[in-house]
Chain A
Amino acid sequence: NAGVTQTPKFQVLKTGQSMTLQCAQDMNHEYMSWYRQDPGMGLRLIHYSVGAGITDQGEVPNGYNVSRSTTEDFPLRLLSAAPSQTSVYFCASRVTGLNTEAFFGQGTRLTVV
Chain B
Amino acid sequence: RKEVEQDPGPFNVPEGATVAFNCTYSNSASQSFFWYRQDCRKEPKLLMSVYSSGNEDGRFTAQLNRASQYISLLIRDSKLSDSATYLCVISNSNSGYALNFGKGTSLLVTP
Binding site for B on A (CB under 8 A): 31, 33, 35, 40-45, 48, 50, 56, 58, 90, 92, 96-102, 104-107
B interface: dominant SS: loop
Total inter-chain residue pairs, C-beta < 8 Å: 54
Question: Of B43, B46, B93, which one neighbours A98 at CB under 8 angstroms?
Answer: B93
List residues of chain B with CB within 8 A of the CB of A31. Answer: 97
Are B91 and A98 in touch, CB under 8 angstroms?
A: yes
Binding site for A on B (CB under 8 A): 8, 31-32, 36, 41-46, 49, 87, 91-93, 96-104
A-B contacts, 15 of them at CB < 8 A, read A41-B103, A43-B87, A45-B100, A50-B96, A90-B43, A92-B99, A96-B97, A97-B97, A98-B93, A99-B32, A102-B44, A104-B44, A105-B43, A106-B43, A107-B41
